[in-house]
Amino acid sequence: MDVLYFAWVRERIGIPRERVETGAETVAQLVEELRAREPRYEAAFADLSALRVALDQGLADFDAPLAGVREVAFFPPMTGG
């Protein structure tokens, strides 16, 4: 699946998007896999309460299943308007 990062999540991880092969069943499991990779991922995902997630461009929860999902995005709370 494609994993996208925005705002300070993108800056901490250092890339805007990447292709991830994963067996994770939920968003939370995917986050744990990513966190275990490198310190920059750990820095981005250290506080999940400061993060939001979208699955296929719709807001979702961290316990949401990933089956059939093609695009996951992680970002801080939005500040539009």
Residues in the site for other proteins, rule: CB under 8 A?
Answer: 4, 6-8, 54, 57-59, 73, 75-81
Tell me how far, at minimum, the Cβ of 36 lies from other proteins, in Å.
Answer: 26
Nearer to other proteins, 23 or 58 (CB): 58
Tell me how far, at minimum, the Cβ of 37 lies from other proteins, in Å.
Answer: 23
Nearer to other proteins, 36 or 78 (CB): 78
The number of beta carbons lying within 10 Å of the beta carbon of residue 73 is 20
Euclidean distance between CA atoms 29 and 35, whole angstroms: 10
Nearer to other proteins, 23 or 77 (CB): 77
Q: Whose CA is closest to 2, among 19, 15, 14? A: 19
Residues 68, 25, 43, 18, CA torsion sign: negative
